Amino acid sequence: MSENLFIIDDDEEILNLLTLALSRSGFNIETANNYGEAIAKIDRGYIPDLVLMDYYLPGLDGISLAGEFLKKGVKSPVFLFTAADSDVINLSDCPENVIDIIRKPFSFEEIVQKLNQSKRYNKLFLDKEEVTDKKNQVVDLNNDLYTQKISDIQKFLDIVSHKIKNSLQTITNYVELLKKGYIDEEDKDRVFQTILDKVSQIKHELDILKRPAEFYYEEDFSLKNVIRTVLSDLKKDIKARDLYIKTDFQKNLPLYYGRRGIFAEFFLEFFGKIVNCSEMSSKIHISLSQDNDEYLINVIQSEVSQTCRDLYNYFELSLKDDKEIRFAKAFVDFKDLGCRIIIDKDNEGRGIYKIIIPKSSNVSDRD
C-alpha cells in the first residue's frame, strides 16, 4: 500500500521536483507552501503517513510546525531538510516526531531510502504512550533565528549559505531527473534555463561572500555610483518592461561615509519593486541632490501598473516569501540609519517616491 507523503516547502521549484520524483517512487503526494496551508489541510482531516518539510518556512519554522502537528494529534514521522549547518539545527532541539534532519544538497535516492526506513520509526513512535522530553535545557535557537534583526555576520553568512545550497539542490535534482529520463523533451529547454539561472544566483552569492565588508564596515562611497550599479543589475527587468529610465544627479556631491552594502541591498529591492510595478513602455525619473544636511532621492513613476495600484499595500512589509523577507530586511536596515521613505501618488496617478538620507559626518571628498 502506498504511503501518503506530505511535502511542505515554500520553494516552488524544489516542491515540484520532490513531487515529480517521489510520486514516481510510489508515494501519494500532498503539498503545502507554508505553515498556514499545511495546518489548514490537517484541520480538514488530512492525516499523512510521513511528512517531509523544509526548516526555513515563512511565518513559522519547520521545528515549530512539527510541534503544532503534535498538538493536533498528528504523530506522523517528520523529516526536516535544511541548508543550515549542523551547529545551527540539531535533532535534540526538535519535537519527538522529527526523526531525521536531511542536509542540503540531497539526492532523491537518499530521500527515498530514509522515507522507506521510516516505517519502523513510525511503529516505535506511535506505540509510545507519552512523548518524553528530550530537550531538557537545550538553548532555543528559534528566537535568535527569527526575531533577532539580521545585523551580525553569522546570520548574514547563514542566509547566503542557504541561498547557495537551495540553488545547488535544484541543480542537483534536475540533473538527476535528466539522467533518469524523467524530463519530457518539451520541458528540457525550461529545465536548462532554470539550471543556468541557478548558476547565476550562486555566482551572485559567492560574489557577496568575497565582499562582506561592504555590508558591515564603513567606508567612503558615492551614492550615485551605487544607484547606477543597481540600475545595471536591474537591466534585464527594465528591458523586459521596455522602460525608459532618466537619471539626474547633482554634480560634486560629497561622498557618503557608511556601509555601502546596506544601500546597495535597499536600492536593489526598492528600485526593483518600482520597476516591476511600472506599466510597459513607461518612464521612471530618478534624481539625486543635496539639501543642507540631507541627501534627497526623488523618483517619479509615470504610470503605475494595474497590479499594484495600491502602492501602500504593494510596499507594505511582509514575510510571506523570500523576496518579501529580503525587502523587509533591507528596509529595516536602511531605516536604522535614520533614512526616511515617503511613497505617494500625485493627481495624475504617477508614483512619487522620496528617499531622505541624513548626511554622514565625513564630507571631505566629493564624487
Cell of 2: 502506498
* Domain co-membership, 244 together with 334: yes
Domain membership of residue 363 (yes or no) is no
Residues 179 and 204 in one domain: yes
Per-residue pLDDT tens for 27-75? 899 999 888 899 999 999 999 989 999 888 877 788 889 999 989 988 8
Give residue 81's pLDDT band: very low, low, confident or very high (50, 70, 90): confident
User: Which structural domain, as residue segments, surrounds residue 233?
Assistant: 216-358
Q: Would you give the distance in Å from CA 320 to the centre of its chain? A: 9
Position 169 in a domain: yes
Give yes or no for residue 121 having a pLDDT over 50. Answer: no
Which CATH number do you get for residue 111? Answer: 3.40.50.2300
* 326 pLDDT higher than 60: yes
Decide if 51 is inside a domain.
yes
The answer for residues whose C-beta is within 8 angstroms of residue 343's C-beta and 6 or more apart is 311, 312, 315, 351, 352, 353
Instruction: Dump pLDDT digits (tens) for 299-308.
Output: 999 999 887 8
What is the average pLDDT across 103-116? 81
62 contacts 83 by C-beta, under 8 angstroms = no
Does residue 112 sit in the same domain as residue 178? Answer: no
Average pLDDT, stretch 276-286? 94
- Residue position matching grid coordinates 560574489: 207
Indicate whether 254 and 292 sit together in one domain.
yes
Same domain, 221 and 351: yes
Residues 74 and 159 in one domain: no
Please identify, among 114, 145, 176, the residue that sits at the C-terminal boundary of a domain: 145
Instruction: Let me know whether 93 and 160 are in one domain.
Output: no
Q: Is 313 a domain residue?
A: yes
Indicate whether 367 belongs to any domain.
no
d(CA 225, CA 40): 48
**Last residue in a domain, options 112, 145, 178:** 145
**What pTM did the predictor assign?**
0.45
| DSSP collapsed to 3 states, 300-335 | EECCECHHHCCHHHHCCCCCCCHHHHHHHHHHHHHH
In a domain, 116, yes or no: yes
Last residue of a domain, one of 95, 118, 145: 145
pLDDT, tens only, 218-251: 778 899 999 999 999 999 999 999 999 999 999 9
Q: Which amino acid is at 274?
A: I
Same-domain check for residues 164 and 114: no
Residue 365 has pLDDT above 90, yes or no: no
Q: 46 with 29, same domain?
A: yes
Sign of CA dihedral 275, 276, 277, 282: positive
The two beta strands, 98-103 and 78-82, are parallel
At how many degrees (to 10) do helices 188-210 and 153-180 cross?
Answer: 160
Three cell numbers, residue 104: 542540503
Domain assignment present for residue 201? The answer is yes
**Tally of domains within the chain:** 3
> Are 242 and 336 found together in one domain?
yes
Angle between helices 12-24 and 108-126 (to 10 degrees): 80
Polymer length of the chain? 367
For the record, the C-alpha cell of 294 comes out as: 540631507
- 246 and 347 together in one domain: yes
- What distance in Å separates the CA atoms of residue 91 and residue 193, rounded to the nearest whole number? 36
Q: Where are the alpha helices (DSSP H) in the chain?
A: 12-24, 35-43, 62-71, 108-126, 142-146, 153-180, 188-210, 213-216, 223-233, 235-240, 260-276, 311-314, 322-336
Task: Indicate whether 55 and 115 sit together in one domain.
Answer: yes
Q: 316 in a domain, yes or no?
A: yes
